């Protein structure tokens, strides 16, 4: 998924990293958010419902 220049610029302003490093940090952030969402979805499937 290509990221817009606006997203890259926003992260660059926050972190002051070279563009290649910013792109990697944006990918890492996206991967972490996806992993957390997947984990939460998996946990909600396995937890017993409380009555």
Q: For residue 5, give its domain range.
A: 1-36
What is the structure's pLDDT at 1?
Answer: 45
The answer to whether residue 4 is domain-embedded is yes
* Digitized pLDDT (tens) for each residue of the chain, 51 residues in all: 456 667 766 766 666 777 777 788 788 889 999 999 999 999 888 766 665
What is the structure's pLDDT at 41?
Answer: 92
Q: What domain count does the chain have?
A: 1
Neighbour count for residue 3 (Cβ, 10 Å): 13
The answer to whether residue 32 is domain-embedded is yes
Neighbour count for residue 49 (Cβ, 10 Å): 5
The answer to whether residue 48 is domain-embedded is no
The answer to whether residue 50 is domain-embedded is no
* Buried b / exposed e along 11-44 (16+ C-beta atoms within 10 A): bbeeeeeeeeebbebbeeeeeeeeeeeeeeeeee
The answer to whether residue 31 is domain-embedded is yes
The answer to whether residue 43 is domain-embedded is no
State if pTM tops 0.75: no
What is the structure's pLDDT at 33?
Answer: 92
The answer to whether residue 29 is domain-embedded is yes
Residue 4, φ and ψ in degrees, nearest 5: -75, 160
What is the structure's pLDDT at 16?
Answer: 75
């Amino acid at each position: 998924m290509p990221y817009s220049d606006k997203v890259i610029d926003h992260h660059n302003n926050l972190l002051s990293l070279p563009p290649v490093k910013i792109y990697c940090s944006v990918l890492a952030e996206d991967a972490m958010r996806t992993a957390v969402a997947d984990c939460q979805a998996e946990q909600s499937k396995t937890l017993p419902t409380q009555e």
